[in-house]
Amino acid sequence: AQKVTQAQTEISVVEKEDVTLDCVYETRDTTYYLFWYKQPPSGELVFLIRRNSFDEQNEISGRYSWNFQKSTSSFNFTITASQVVDSAVYFCALSAAINAGNNRKLIWGLGTSLAVNP
Amino acid sequence: EPEVTQTPSHQVTQMGQEVILRCVPISNHLYFYWYRQILGQKVEFLVSFYNNEISEKSEIFDDQFSVERPDGSNFTLKIRSTKLEDSAMYFCASSANRSQPQHFGDGTRLSIL
């Protein structure tokens, strides 16, 4: 079965704190992709990052960093020096192979609602 | 930057009525998807579409649902006879190929009365 678990339902931090959002996934595929999307209060889904299963290098983009560990099936997301504008729901998603070749549907976690307070 | 556009942004419909949600994917993208998100819940896959046919559909995507790409640019989701439980945000997404990220439209909020 393919599954994404985001155990943290809600996190509240004070501005400038660092915060880590956890994501654990399950899949039998050997090739897969992991994603993080941000959903601000306005409701749209904003793509943040994609990581493929063969690339375990951590990635940093500004205040955002991601830690992919296949050994623990985790793909955690850290925001450094959080800001009020980071307040949103963050979804981790797994791209699973649908069939022989085409399309990869996204399987989503329940999301973590992050509130950054001034 | 190219965007996926969805119209309308909000649709209010009486139960039992047909509704069509419209999407214009990014122009050079070949893979198309519909997802839905019931208020406060996670995003759920509905259907994927490639080469003018459905690649996969979820158990949510029953006979009341259909998708079409009528003119090479639009990608529509039709719900034939809406139910109260169809109330949700519906997101369209597209990707250039199956390994590229899916880019999402801003969603259509569907409210069934």
Amino acid (1-letter code) at residue A81 = A
Decide if B45 and A105 are in contact by the 8 Å CB cutoff. yes
Tell me the shortest Cα–Cα distance from B107 to chain A, in angstroms. 6
Decide if B101 and A107 are in contact by the 8 Å CB cutoff. no
Distance CA B14, CA A61 (A): 45
Per-residue model confidence (pLDDT) at position A100: 45
Check CB contact of A3 with chain B, cutoff 8 Å: no
End-to-end, the C-alpha distance of chain B in Å comes to: 36
DSSP state at residue B66:
E
Decide if A35 and B31 are in contact by the 8 Å CB cutoff. no
Per-residue model confidence (pLDDT) at position A35: 94
- Please name which of A8, A53, A58 lies closest in space to residue A29, comparing C-alpha atoms: A53
Per-residue model confidence (pLDDT) at position A97: 65
Distance CA B31, CA B36 (A): 17
Check CB contact of A107 with chain B, cutoff 8 Å: yes
Residues 36-95 (A) with a CB less than 8 A from some CB of B: 37, 42-47, 50, 52, 91, 93
Tell me the shortest Cα–Cα distance from A72 to chain B, in angstroms. 23
Token pair 């997802």 is found at B35
Chain segment B76-107, per-residue pLDDT in tens: 999 999 999 999 999 999 999 877 889 999 99
Q: Does the structure show a pLDDT above 90 at A55?
A: no
**Displacement of CA B93 from its chain's centroid (Å):** 8
Decide if A105 and B107 are in contact by the 8 Å CB cutoff. no
Chain segment B13-50, per-residue pLDDT in tens: 999 999 999 999 999 899 999 999 998 888 999 999 98
pLDDT band per the 50, 70, 90 thresholds, residue A99: low
Per-residue model confidence (pLDDT) at position B97: 83
Q: Which residues of B touch A37 (CB under 8 A)?
A: 104
Amino acid (1-letter code) at residue A3 = K
Query: CB atoms < 10 A from the CB of A4, how many?
Result: 25
User: What residues contact B31, with CB distance under 8 A and at least 6 apart?
Assistant: A102, A103, B48, B49, B50, B94, B95, B96, B97, B98, B102
Query: CB atoms < 10 A from the CB of A60, how many?
Result: 10
